[in-house]
Amino acid sequence: MHVDNTFYTVEQGRLAQIISKRSFGGKCFFSNSGAEANEGAIKLARKASPEGRYKIITMERSFHGRTFGAMSATAQAKTQHGFDPLLPGFVYVPFNDVDAVAKAITKETAAVMLEPIQGEGGVNIPDDNYLASLRELCDEHGLLLIFDEVQTGCGRTGKWFGYQNWNVEPDIMTLAKALGNGAPIGAIVAQPEVAEAFGPGTHASTYGANPLVVSAAIALFETIEQEGLLERVGQISQYILSQARSLQQRFGFIESVRGCGLMLAIELSLPGAPIVAAALERGLRVNCTQNSILRLLPAMTITEAEIDEAFEILATAMQETQSKLVSS
């Protein structure tokens, strides 16, 4: 069951090939989680950059994980509070603001790192040309572009990887969450010339590419393909959005509804916690992020009947919250 990643295994090679063929022909290093994949990506970006270039520009409201490097990359005070001093070398700018990135670049900058769609930050979808402009800026200044696809990757947006919605390739991409579909695995995928910076002894993980979890990840790709799930995502997404828009007509506190594939948000003008609690009591698990944004990340296998049931529960939870507001 266990072979440490000093050695090659057939499964490890197969999974790397599966990911590489469906993305940008990159090389893969397997870890055990998203945070750990991002730690590795930060190390790789520094190692692959010329001497003196170590700073990484990341986005406000980003989320990259809870370990020290990933937490320092995460530009949210609530995540970092109490853990000073953080890992130096991160510069934060607003999401969807190319000029802010351009102004933040110095001769010490090594990379720009972001989630193609911010998840924990509130399902923030990039403007049409944002990622392409970042790619251009990085090329112009010799910087690496890192996409954290821990949440957007492996089919969630209806493409294998989120960046494919905008046809902009990164130099480094990180994956986790859906990659193992429940089994703990993460991955760093890097353009071959960037990956070369990691020679033997520079990065490793005892359980990275463990044959058991790697087999689970292979099964994920095979199942999504065999069951045509990527193609289904767009259709289900539209169905959920139409249900969410009906709710919006009913409840004045719903400010907006948005989504890309199965990464969707219902933004409220009030705190979402009471709605989340009322929904959970009725068996529906939704998440509230940034205090007032309900984030919906359903499984790719969800049926229309299940969506109807979920929205009935959500409507009841919202009605209950509204009634309490009126009576208080």
Ligand X SMILES: Cc1ncc(COP(=O)(O)O)c(C=O)c1O
Distance CA 61, CA 120 (A): 8
Stretch that binds ligand X, among 63-71, 129-137, 217-225, 294-302 (CB under 6 A): 63-71
Catalytic, 177? Answer: yes
User: Looking only at residues 217 through 256 of this chain, which bind ligand X when binding is defined by CB under 6 A?
Assistant: none
Which residue stretch of 27-35, 52-60, 195-203, 267-275 sits at the interface with ligand X (rule: CB under 6 A)?
27-35
Q: Within 13 Å, how many C-alpha atoms sit on residue 260's CB side?
A: 25
Nearer to ligand X, 5 or 289 (CB): 289
Is residue 78 flagged as an active site residue?
no
- As measured in angstroms, the least distance from the Cβ of 247 to ligand X is 25
Q: Which of 119, 162, 272, 298 is in the footprint of ligand X by CB under 6 A?
A: 119
Question: In the bound complex, what is the minimum distance in angstroms from residue 20's beta carbon to ligand X?
Answer: 21
Residue matched to tokens 């919202």: 318
Other CB atoms within a 10 A radius of the CB of residue 298 amount to 18
Q: Binding ligand X by CB under 6 A: which of 176, 213, 263, 268?
A: 176
Angle at 36 between CA 139 and CA 102, to 5 degrees: 25
Catalytic hit among 55, 148, 161, 198: 148
Q: Is 150 in the site for ligand X (CB under 6 A)?
A: yes
Mark whether 148 is an active-site residue: yes
State which amino acid sits at residue 143. Answer: L
- Give the distance from CA 228 to its chain's centroid: 22
Residue showing the smallest CB distance to ligand X in the complex:
34
Stretch that binds ligand X, among 145-153, 235-243, 275-283, 288-296 (CB under 6 A): 145-153
**Could you tell me the smallest distance in angstroms from the CB atom of residue 305 to ligand X?**
29
Residue 260: closest CA among 122, 57, 138: 122
From residue 38 to residue 57, the character string flagging contacts with ligand X as x (rule: CB under 6 A) and all else as - is x-------------------
Strand, coil or helix: 238: helix
Is residue 34 within the footprint of ligand X (CB under 6 A)? yes
Q: Rule CB under 6 A: is residue 148 a binding residue for ligand X?
A: yes
* CA distance linking residue 288 with residue 119, whole number of Å: 11
Contact 188, 41 (CB under 8 A): yes
- From the list 254, 262, 258, the residue with the least C-alpha distance to 314 is 254
Per-residue buried b or exposed e for 90-121, using 16+ beta carbons within 10 Å of the residue's own CB: bbbbebeebebbeebbeeebbbbbbbbbbbbb
Give the footprint of ligand X on this chain (CB under 6 A).
33-35, 38, 63-65, 115, 119-120, 148, 150-151, 176
Residues with a catalytic annotation lie at 63, 148, 177
